[in-house]
């Protein structure tokens, strides 16, 4: 797979509208969390809890950016340089948005029940 794009560019959409993605786009697909259950007499088994989807982004904080309006979104879509599309929703912010006026950015952390990863052309 020499020469294939693995990283670099992405196009990011909130509720169908393109948003300026500055940097630091990361995501976690919802996977169940498995924890060991251990008693005084040793291993007892596993505890399984549902996982959540998470998306962290650093976006442009332009004059028309509505940070509060971006706190709850029905759908997130990201088209990545590696040929994948990440999509899901609904999402809400789970951390206080962090606006950096020196860089003109705002960091958002979204969590929700559903996020999938698929080939962009598939």
Q: Burial level of 42, CB count in 10 A (0-12/13-18/19+)?
A: exposed
Q: Are strands 33-39 and 21-28 parallel, antiparallel or unpaired?
A: unpaired
- Give pLDDT tens digits for 68-120: 888 889 999 988 888 889 999 999 999 999 999 999 999 999 999 999 999 87
Instruction: For residue 14, give the H/E element and its range.
Output: strand 10-14
pLDDT band at 56 (very low <50, low <70, confident <90, very high): very high
90 prior amide bond cis, ω within 30: yes
Predicted pLDDT of residue 16: 86
């Amino acid at each position: 797979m020499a020469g294939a794009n693995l990283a670099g560019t992405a196009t990011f959409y909130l509720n169908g509208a393109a948003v300026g993605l500055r940097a630091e786009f990361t995501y976690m697909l919802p996977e169940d969390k498995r924890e060991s259950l251990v008693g005084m007499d040793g291993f007892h088994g596993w505890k399984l809890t549902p996982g959540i989807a998470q998306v962290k982004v650093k976006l442009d904080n332009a004059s028309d950016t509505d940070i509060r309006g971006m706190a709850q979104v029905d759908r997130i879509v990201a088209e990545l340089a590696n040929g994948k599309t990440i999509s899901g929703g609904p999402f809400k912010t789970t951390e206080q948005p962090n606006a950096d006026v020196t860089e003109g950015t705002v960091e958002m952390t979204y969590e929700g029940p559903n996020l999938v990863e698929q080939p962009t052309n598939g």
